[in-house]
């Protein structure tokens, strides 16, 4: 098993005729994802690598049965694209786009809540269930099927983590980047809940960042989990009040620091990796000790 | 994006919020004229993008127009050093000349977007004039918070609940709810990321007035707020950061160490800073080189490293995904062709097209210190910078 | 509240929606001048609050300015009888003089509030120019409907879905989504209850233009839309209804029978009309006297009955709740004191203060036909009206 | 039993210091309702007939445990008052106010949906559970405790119906006016669902009106009901396209006519009263025949 995406995922690519959309649609396809449709308004009838293109998501869903969407449209139009996917009844929307205005995301999350759709991102690398499917921009080849779930606010730091895991022979059930913006569709806690229920996942790696309080909320959920959680929070040495690339990564007040976040995670029972280079090792220690299957 | 207090107050005023009488001056003579219009007695406030101005001498009371002119003359052209600026301070090129207000009570009113509530949040407190994060830490019960979802928007009842919570009875209650409604509308229609009126004062003559005001604009929304984007004051920004920005290196933040960093991805970049620190070194900057696959941005990043006289070594840590390692490597080689680079460079490469990237570096004949992982890279960079 | 087509088009235009070139004229000379500005060839449209103008001769093509002046002269000051007006027709005091448009396609675009979806709904159809309710009945699949909840508001995707559904490809698609976004904003910010652009035409030169437009404003929201309330044209309203309104009798609607009705509550008032009809009579009006407990409104209602020469009998059916029966009774007595009432009055009273009310009527010494329940009352009123 | 209000209802009156608010607060109290608080901004500390007045609903709820609210504030401020009640966690809000702009109600119903609060009205007479409690403006004395549920879009027509029922010895479990506006918080179907579940209710009277399609939606639900429904739809002789006092009572298109509504209700199994004066008699016939308890 796995979470979010698997062999049954029928992927739609919004913005498929753009450079990134077209490139990654093909990479997902090559990895084994069923990419069933693309959407670019006004480009209906054309194809990208054999994938049919539609004018609207509604039509694409009606004709192809797409049940997940990955979005590559530019920031100014991304909120509309996410809502279009939810309106068309797509239950899982992955938004890669970076730089979406925060207040657009207030509207989007309110609307998705109403429609009952799940959003991963924006400003995220997406989702991969190694060996099954990929709705994301991560390099598929660094992954390996297995029992470790990975959830992160950061893209490349996830790759780093996955590379460490794979090098140590620790495969992954699913890796999710939830995104680095102040408002994202899914929280750490949402993903931990799915991993806790997923039979294929034996341990979860959580990679946090400075800013906000999502790691503290995750800590509250970790208290209720039976599976081990290994955590790292980036930005311990970042100066306060600055936006560190990720719009969410601003330390404001006392609750946003890496120190406090790590303390909360530790108090909730998570194991803290001593440095970003030691995340893989820490997982190995835990799984070695962990007698539960 | 930050703007000045005087700009923020003009925006409040356009949004229907009454602000203290006054005007901004770029010269001492102008300040004197404005002071005279205000009747002589007034306050002179240095306009810099930093808090802590009061204690630093950036806010002074004038007793006459001549006094105002004198105070303004001393402030203008100087650099103001506050607890929130660097040691060099921020340049003062404008002062705000404002009426003196008789204060009965000091309140706090702020708005930001709460990532957990996924909504704008209005915050109010009777602890006005204090650093609100300090209040949040020591007396959290003194802060009233109200998340305002986009279904209802700001309704009068939100305002009444906050106003009564601040102890404002009619008619001040009505002034407060109207001010809050205007602030909310301003926040959501103008893509603000932070709005703080601190202090919001009740004057002895029964007015509710924003005595100081800070408005930040969501950088991601500047594309659709050109009139706000035009308010940027580059003088208030760091010279190296400005240079980086002008070279298209957007995610660059100056830090106080000696190791220049070039990383792809914000999270990994932060982790690299952490790794350098834990290896005993100090990073000179945060730099997320991003995913744009062109060599020019890499070359420009090296221009910034070169311009930064504190840089003793550079650490390049790239985990290719969207970004391609070969392009980055090519960029590093081109940087050496275009300028004389003397500092040692530690390079750790992984991910998409890593083999092609390594070949490019080898073929260049240039000397680099290669590293196997980010820990190794950090340790080698710290060692290189100490030499 | 209804407004004229020319007013509706001015409002569309202010909302950023392109409308046909033209202007409104109150005199034939003015119409001639506007026609000349348009190059002579134009369309003259009678401005009345009713549909069906085309078939009734209220929309005429002019070939020259002189022709336009002549057509306008014949329309202005006349009464236009259409399928939707009374037999007397509606007075024409203004004509709209508009450019002649070469039509390639006729579409329909409308908005209303859907009580089931609890949201504004945008409707679009390729069956433009037809009565949309007829289309809804016979070819429901030809109407695209989209409920737009207030969480998202109108988003570009709503527009694209409707536009592509209408078969509009780029660049007409972009024109359509922009027009729809503007129409939505107009609808929700101006408290419209109905907006219909029918037909919305695609011209042969590739423009999307509202050829006719109907905007209704939510009566309940007129208090906060004074600029729209000012557009009311009393000439277009029924004389008796206007008189009732001017007397403060707000919920009065003229019907075509002979039995004047005064009832409290809209539902009960409708039921009374039904009861009269099933007793073989015909009501002269609908009148919900409401709950304002004053005798003056009752007296004024009788003034309207007296002014209505068709009224042969009056039925008063009051079930006191908020409204007090004694106040109504007192009003009826006062009406007799103030005017000479010759028609028979059937009265059925029940509810709050019914006994006090009955006593007032008895004490007055006046003659009324009393009834025990609403069926009894209806039957007696029908009988009384036939005498 | 009964629906919506009973002996456990702790009623708050919003707009209690106004003429109608103060009058009806006392009438509800006299009828036996527990009126625990009133709200008028700026009047905190005062009392109306012994009922304490608060500045905000939030405070009133905190101090008195109010669990239902009845609203008498003017139309221009009513939407805000309804949302304030829902925001303070009140699960049942009854809005008497007439003349609220339709688009305000779009906002209100969206917000209440989010908060999980139930709204009765606006532009309605409220709710009464005879012998138990009253959150409405109906004259209590025409009612009688019993087994007939009444739901109506109209106020005085409900009184008319209740008077007929009481005169025939048929008491009522609960009588609800859902309101005559195009957008109201609760539909016929919502109320039918509660009556169907309510053990004290043996039959339900539904009084509809021309305009909209709420009666047709009710018909859909009636198909699933085991309790008899007696229906009447007012406005059979009303002219189309005119607003008959109730903003909702406009016949538009073909689906809003009394004839179509009655046909739909009849087809769903409801008994149609031949005239408004015969609603009581029709109920009596049904309950006489109805062998179920």
Q: How far apart are CA B148 and CA C92, in angstroms?
A: 50
Q: How high is the pLDDT of residue D247?
A: 53
D178 lies in the same domain as D261: yes
Farthest CA pair distance, chain A: 56
Q: Judge whether D40 lies within some domain.
A: yes
Indicate the fold that domain C21-99 takes in CATH.
Answer: Dna Ligase; domain 1 (3.30.1490)
Mutation for testing the C interface, residue in A15, A39, A41 having most C CBs under 10 Å: A41
Q: How high is the pLDDT of residue A16?
A: 97
Question: Per-residue confidence at A248, pLDDT binned at 50, 70, 90?
Answer: low
* Chains contacting D (3+ CB pairs below 8 angstroms): B, C
- Least Cα distance to B177 among B17, B338, B339 occurs for B17
- Provide, as residue numbers in chain C, all residues whose Cβ is less than 8 Å from the Cβ of A58: 161
CATH number at residue D217: 3.40.50.261
- Least Cα distance to B321 among C368, C301, A163 occurs for A163
CB-CB: which of B116, B267, B351 is closest to A142?
B351
A112 lies in the same domain as A227: no
Question: Per-residue confidence at D292, pLDDT binned at 50, 70, 90?
Answer: very low
Q: Has domain B103-229 been given CATH number 3.40.30.10?
A: no
Percent of chain C with pLDDT over 90: 78
Q: Does the pLDDT at position D272 exceed 60? A: yes
CA distance, residue D284 to nearest chain C CA (Å): 18
Percent of chain D with pLDDT over 70: 93
Q: How far apart are CA A209 and CA A246, in angstroms?
A: 9
Residue pair C208/C174 in contact by the 8 Å Cβ criterion: no
Q: Is the dihedral of CA C185, C187, C188, C190 positive or negative?
A: positive
Q: Does the pLDDT at position D252 exceed 70? A: no
Question: Per-residue confidence at D291, pLDDT binned at 50, 70, 90?
Answer: very low
Contact state of D81 with B151 under an 8 Å Cβ cutoff: no
- Provide, as residue numbers in chain D, all residues whose Cβ is less than 8 Å from the Cβ of B169: 42
Contact state of D214 with C119 under an 8 Å Cβ cutoff: no
- Least Cα distance to D179 among D143, D231, D127, D217 occurs for D127
- Provide, as residue numbers in chain B, all residues whose Cβ is less than 8 Å from the Cβ of D56: 157, 160-161, 164
Contact state of D154 with C137 under an 8 Å Cβ cutoff: no
C353 conformational bin, left if phi > 0, alpha if psi -120 to 50, beta if neither: left
Contact state of B268 with A76 under an 8 Å Cβ cutoff: no
Q: Which residues contact C319 (CB under 8 A, 6 or more apart)?
A: C264, C265, C268, C350, C351, D156, D159, D160, D163
- Provide, as residue numbers in chain D, all residues whose Cβ is less than 8 Å from the Cβ of C118: 105-106, 109-110, 183
| Overall domain count for chain D | 2
D110 lies in the same domain as D145: no
Question: Per-residue confidence at A293, pLDDT binned at 50, 70, 90?
Answer: very low
CB-CB: which of C137, C219, C271 is closest to D276?
C271
D158 lies in the same domain as D93: no
For A232, the closest chain B residue by CA position comes to B271
- Provide, as residue numbers in chain C, all residues whose Cβ is less than 8 Å from the Cβ of B150: 151
Chain D contact for B178 (CB, 8 A cutoff): no
D151 lies in the same domain as D87: no
Q: Judge whether A126 lies within some domain.
A: no
What domain range includes position A200? 138-292
Q: Of A94, A120, A146, which one is at a domain's C-terminal end? A: A120
**Catalytic residue positions of D, numbered:** 246
- Write the DSSP assignment of chain A as a string of letters: --SS-STT-EEEEETTTSHHHHHHHHHHHHHT-EEEEEE-TT-TT-EETTEEEES-HHHHHHHH---EEEE---HHHHHHHHHHHHHTT-SEEEE------HHHHHHHHHHHHHHT-EEE-SSS-EEEETTTEEEESS-GGG--EEEEEEEES-SHHHHHHHHHHHHTT--EEEEEE--SSSS-SS-HHHHHHHHHH-TT-SEEEEEEESSSSHHHHHHHHHTT-SS-EEEEEE-TTPPTT---SSTT----TTTTSHHHHHHHHHHTTPEEPSSGGGHHHHHHHHHHH----
Contact state of C220 with D137 under an 8 Å Cβ cutoff: no
The order of strands in the sheet holding C285-288 is C251-254, C285-288, C259-263, C313-320, C345-351, C369-370
Provide the 10 A C-beta neighbour count for residue C205: 8
Chain B contact for C151 (CB, 8 A cutoff): yes
Residue pair A211/A250 in contact by the 8 Å Cβ criterion: yes
- Least Cα distance to B291 among B255, B314, B315, B263 occurs for B263
Residue pair D126/D177 in contact by the 8 Å Cβ criterion: yes
D145 lies in the same domain as D248: yes
**Secondary structure (3-state) at B136:** helix
Q: How far apart are CA B53 and CA B55, in angstroms?
A: 6
Percent of chain B with pLDDT over 90: 78
Provide the chain B residues 269-308 that lie in CB contact (below 8 A) with chain A.
269-278, 283, 286, 288
Q: Does the pLDDT at position A40 exceed 90? A: yes
- 């704008």: which residue's tokens? B120
**Catalytic residue positions of A, numbered:** 246
Q: How high is the pLDDT of residue A242?
A: 67
Q: Which residues contact A277 (CB under 8 A, 6 or more apart)?
A: A164, B275, B373, B374, B375, B378
Residue pair D63/D54 in contact by the 8 Å Cβ criterion: yes
Q: Judge whether D261 lies within some domain.
A: yes
D106 lies in the same domain as D142: no
Report the DSSP beta bridge partners of residue C346.
C315, C369
Q: How far apart are CA A147 and CA A283, in angstroms?
A: 11
A157 lies in the same domain as A244: yes
Domain boundaries, chain B: 21-99, 103-229, 238-386
Q: How far apart are CA A248 and CA B114, in angstroms?
A: 11
Q: How far apart are CA B310 and CA B254, in angstroms?
A: 11
- What does DSSP assign to residue D239? P
Buried b (16+ CB within 10 A) or exposed e, C263-289: bbbbbbbbbbbbbbbbbebbbbbbbbb
Q: If you average pLDDT over every residue of chain A, what do you get?
A: 92
Q: How high is the pLDDT of residue A291?
A: 38
Contact state of B157 with D87 under an 8 Å Cβ cutoff: yes
Q: For strands B119-125 and B79-80, give the pairing.
A: unpaired
A158 lies in the same domain as A243: yes
A98 lies in the same domain as A219: no
Q: How far apart are CA D192 and CA D198, in angstroms?
A: 10
CA distance, residue B149 to nearest chain C CA (Å): 9
- Provide, as residue numbers in chain C, all residues whose Cβ is less than 8 Å from the Cβ of D153: 267
Instruction: Flag residues of chain C having pLDDT under 70.
Output: 292
Cis peptide before B274 (omega within 30 of 0): no
* Chains contacting B (3+ CB pairs below 8 angstroms): A, C, D
Residue pair D145/D201 in contact by the 8 Å Cβ criterion: no
- Least Cα distance to D265 among D228, D225, D218, D227 occurs for D218
* CATH architecture of structural domain B238-386: 3-Layer(aba) Sandwich (3.40)
Helices C325-338 and C295-307 meet at what angle, rounded to 10? 50
Higher pLDDT, D66 or C51: D66
Q: How far apart are CA C70 and CA C167, in angstroms?
A: 40
Q: Does the pLDDT at position A250 exceed 60? A: no
Chain D contact for C83 (CB, 8 A cutoff): no
Q: Does the pLDDT at position D188 exceed 90? A: yes
Q: Judge whether A162 lies within some domain.
A: yes
Q: How far apart are CA D86 and CA D58, in angstroms?
A: 10
Contact state of D160 with C266 under an 8 Å Cβ cutoff: no
Our CA angle for B273, B324, A208, nearest 5°, is 35
- What does DSSP assign to residue C207? -
The HSE-up count of residue D221 (CA atoms within 13 Å, CB side) is: 19
Residues in chain D: 293
pLDDT in tens, A150-196: 999 988 899 999 999 999 999 999 999 999 898 999 999 999 999 99
pLDDT in tens, A49-70: 999 999 999 999 999 999 999 9
Q: If you average pLDDT over every residue of chain D, what do you get?
A: 92
Residue pair C183/C197 in contact by the 8 Å Cβ criterion: yes
D50 lies in the same domain as D152: no
Question: Per-residue confidence at D241, pLDDT binned at 50, 70, 90?
Answer: low
Q: How high is the pLDDT of residue D293?
A: 36
Q: Is the dihedral of CA C234, C240, C246, C250 positive or negative?
A: negative
pLDDT in tens, chain B (387 residues): 999 999 999 999 999 999 999 999 999 999 999 999 999 999 999 999 988 899 999 999 999 999 999 999 999 999 999 988 888 899 999 999 999 999 999 999 999 998 888 999 999 999 888 777 778 778 888 889 999 988 899 999 999 999 999 999 889 999 999 999 999 999 999 999 999 999 999 999 999 999 999 999 999 999 999 999 999 998 898 888 889 988 888 889 999 899 999 999 888 999 999 999 999 999 999 999 987 678 999 999 999 999 999 999 999 999 987 788 999 999 999 999 999 999 999 999 998 889 999 999 999 999 999 999 999 999 999 999 987
D116 lies in the same domain as D171: no
Our CA angle for A42, A43, A44, nearest 5°, is 100
Percent of chain A with pLDDT over 90: 82
CB-CB: which of C153, C160, C169 is closest to A56?
C160
């Amino acid at each position: 098993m796995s979470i979010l995406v698997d062999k049954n995922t029928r992927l739609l690519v919004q913005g498929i005729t753009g450079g990134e959309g077209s490139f990654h649609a093909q990479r997902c396809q090559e990895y084994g994802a069923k990419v069933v449709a693309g959407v670019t308004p006004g480009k209906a009838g054309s194809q990208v690598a054999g994938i049919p293109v539609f004018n609207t998501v509604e039509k694409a869903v009606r004709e192809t049965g797409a049940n997940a969407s990955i979005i590559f449209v530019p920031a100014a139009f991304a909120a509309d694209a996410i809502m279009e996917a939810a309106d068309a009844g797509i239950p899982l929307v992955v938004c890669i786009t970076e730089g979406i205005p925060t207040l657009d995301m207030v509207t989007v999350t309110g609307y998705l809540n109403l429609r009952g759709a799940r959003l991963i991102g924006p400003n995220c690398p997406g989702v991969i269930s190694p060996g099954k499917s990929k709705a994301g921009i991560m390099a598929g080849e660094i992954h390996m099927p297995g029992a470790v779930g990975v959830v992160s606010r950061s893209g490349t730091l996830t790759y780093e983590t996955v590379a460490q895991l794979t090098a140590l022979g620790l495969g992954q059930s699913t890796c999710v980047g939830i995104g680095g913006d102040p408002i994202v569709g899914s929280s750490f806690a949402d993903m931990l809940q799915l991993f806790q229920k997923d039979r294929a996942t034996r341990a979860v790696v959580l990679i946090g960042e400075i800013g906000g309080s999502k790691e503290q909320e995750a800590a509250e959920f970790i208290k209720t989990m039976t599976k081990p959680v290994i955590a790292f929070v980036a930005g311990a040495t970042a100066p306060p009040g600055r936006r560190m690339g990720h719009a969410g990564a601003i330390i404001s007040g006392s609750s946003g620091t890496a120190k406090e976040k790590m303390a909360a995670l530790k108090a909730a029972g998570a194991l803290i990796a001593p440095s970003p280079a030691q995340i893989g090792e820490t997982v190995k220690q835990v799984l070695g000790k962990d007698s539960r299957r | 994006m930050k703007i000045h207090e005087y700009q923020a107050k003009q925006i409040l005023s356009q949004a229907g919020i009454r602000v203290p009488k006054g005007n901004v001056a770029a010269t001492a003579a102008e300040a004197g004229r404005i002071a005279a219009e205000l009747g002589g007695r007034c306050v002179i406030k240095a306009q810099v993008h930093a808090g802590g101005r009061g204690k630093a001498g950036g806010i002074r009371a004038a007793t006459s127009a001549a006094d105002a002119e004198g105070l303004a003359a001393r402030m203008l052209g100087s650099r103001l050093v506050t607890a929130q600026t660097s040691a060099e301070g921020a340049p003062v090129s404008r002062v705000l000349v404002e009426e003196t207000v008789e204060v009965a009570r000091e309140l706090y009113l702020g708005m930001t977007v709460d990532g957990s509530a996924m909504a704008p949040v209005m915050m109010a407190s009777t602890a006005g004039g204090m650093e609100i994060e300090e209040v949040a830490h020591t007396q959290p019960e003194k802060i009233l918070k109200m998340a305002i979802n986009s279904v209802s928007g700001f309704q009068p009842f939100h305002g009444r609940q906050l106003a009564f919570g601040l102890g404002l009875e009619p008619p001040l209650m009505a002034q407060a709810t109207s001010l809050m409604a205007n602030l909310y509308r301003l926040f959501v229609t103008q893509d603000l990321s932070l709005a703080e009126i601190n202090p919001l004062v009740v004057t002895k003559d029964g007015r509710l007035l924003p005595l100081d005001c800070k408005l930040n604009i969501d950088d991601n929304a500047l594309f659709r707020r050109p009139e706000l984007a035009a308010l940027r004051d580059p003088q208030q920004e760091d010279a190296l950061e400005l240079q980086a920005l002008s070279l298209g290196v957007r995610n660059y933040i100056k830090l106080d160490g000696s190791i220049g960093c070039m990383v792809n991805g914000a999270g990994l970049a932060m982790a690299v800073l952490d790794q350098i620190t834990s290896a005993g070194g100090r990073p000179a900057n945060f730099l997320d080189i991003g995913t744009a696959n062109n060599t020019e941005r890499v070359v420009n990043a090296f221009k910034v490293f070169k311009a930064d006289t504190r840089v003793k070594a550079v650490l390049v840590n790239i985990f290719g995904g969207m970004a391609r390692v070969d392009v980055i490597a090519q960029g590093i080689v081109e940087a050496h062709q275009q300028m004389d680079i003397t500092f040692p460079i530690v390079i750790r490469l992984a991910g998409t097209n890593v083999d092609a990237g390594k070949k490019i570096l080898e073929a260049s004949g240039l000397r680099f210190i290669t590293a196997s992982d980010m820990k190794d890279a950090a340790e080698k960079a710290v060692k290189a910078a100490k030499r």
